[in-house]
Structure 1
Amino acid sequence: MRADARRNYEQLVEQAKVAFAEHGVDAPLDAIARRAGVTSGTLYRHFPTRLDLVEAVLADRTADLVGLGHHLLTAADPVEALTTWLRAALTHGLTYRGLSATMLNLTLDRRHDPVSPWHAALFDVCAALLARAADAGAITAGATATDVLKMISAIAWATQDSPDSTTQADRLLTLFLTGLRHNARGQSGVRR
């Protein structure tokens, strides 16, 4: 990428971070382009879809979340590892207003998923953490990575506009985890 194109790309990502923080991930793309000092055409050359821009804004956080999951795969307690990762995923989902709805739409039907590398990596690490916990007999084997990521997105969506969103989200996550543990005895394996 040429220096001016790289500068435009970086400025668009930085201005999108500001706009998403102020207005959520549905912030007008034309306004982001204006804030970055470029035309809408320049924005769309770098980011053909809104999701492409969202992915660029979240790249570092998503990589950290995937890295945390890989690290937790070696933790002694598979349930604690899964819980820690799901809390981090929920925090990630609460990053920007509207992000959880975007993520939920992506997880509703993976056959129509754009299958970006970061999205696939989130599913893979979630599936591996679930499998460890199920193999230990600590959670129900019927839960899939798609199920769990839908629930995380739904919890983030349901609590994102609450003044105490983090507290409410953690409470709902605890209830969800209790459900995963219910009737776990005698089951093994996790579908994806």
Structure 2
Amino acid sequence: MVERQRADARRNYARILAVAEEEVAARGADASLEQIARTAGVGSATVRRHFPTRRALLEAVSRTRIAALSARAQELTGRGDSRDALLEWLGEVVAYCVSARGLAVALSYDDSAADPVHENSCSRSLEEAGGPLLGRAVRDGAVAAGVTVGDLITLAVGIVLATEHRGDPAAEADRLFRLAVEGLSPRA
């Protein structure tokens, strides 16, 4: 009987996650947990057992995208100009956050008061992945010392959240990201 419950729980988790991915893609971070439960054919208590918080749900939905961004950071580490590699990766983080509704919100959760059980695994993964890229750019003098990957992720998330309701969020986010990178000074 216990084995059957485990198999049922695994099936429920997979079904809930698949439905949640669709709902978050359609409605963003405010996707209704009750709607997810109805569509998955389970009770809302089952959804909450697997995902006790909205944050847990968003992080689970974003896990594949975070893994892809982390892999991309590894690909870019050590390649070409260190500033260009870092900016290419950050541009991809911005683009991913625009296309993957809910990802920016998942990355924006504050960990300052969180306990280790509830820390932001999405942010932590990206910070670990981007660390070598940023470290190399700082060593090369291409980025100011003291800048952290957390700072850069916060900047990217802020841009995405500020542009998500614009006519063309991807173009606006990219434009503002380039503005932040290049600064306000005219080109010489």
Shorter-chain TM-score tier: 0.7 to 0.9
Which letter maps to 2:114? H
CA RMSD, 1 decimal: 1.9
Tell me the percent identity: 38
Task: Provide the residue aligned with 1:64 in structure 2.
Answer: 68
Instruction: Describe the SS at the equivalent of 2:29.
Output: coil
Out of 160, 165, 171, the position equivalent to 1:161 is: 165
Which letter maps to 1:73? T
Deviation, 1:92, is 2.3
**Given the alignment of the two structures, is residue 40 of structure 1 paired with residue 44 of structure 2, yes or no?**
yes
**What does 1:59-138 align with in structure 2 at a 5 Å threshold?**
59-106=63-110, 109-110=111-112, 112=114, 114-138=118-142
Which letter maps to 2:126? L
Matched-pair contact (CA < 8 Å) for 2:20–2:36: yes
Q: Aligned partners of 2:15, 2:47: CA distance in 1, in Å?
A: 10
- Residue-by-residue CA offset, 1:14-36 (whole Å, 9 max, x unaligned): 11112112211111101111110
- Residue-by-residue CA offset, 1:43-73 (whole Å, 9 max, x unaligned): 1111111111111111111111111112211
Which letter maps to 2:62? L
Which sits farther off after the overlay, 152-161 or 91-100?
91-100
Which sits farther off after the overlay, 126-135 or 64-73?
126-135
Task: Provide the residue aligned with 1:52 in structure 2.
Answer: 56
Q: Aligned partners of 1:118, 1:105: CA distance in 2, in Å?
A: 10
Task: Provide the residue aligned with 1:8 in structure 2.
Answer: 12
Matched-pair contact (CA < 8 Å) for 1:98–1:157: no
Question: What TM-score does the superposition give when structure 2 sets the normalisation length?
Answer: 0.85
Which letter maps to 2:175? R
Which letter maps to 2:136? R
Aligned length: 177
**Given the alignment of the two structures, is residue 142 of structure 1 paired with residue 142 of structure 2, yes or no?**
no
Matched-pair contact (CA < 8 Å) for 1:101–1:154: no
Unaligned runs of 5+ residues in structure 2 are 184-188
Instruction: Describe the SS at the equivalent of 1:24.
Output: helix
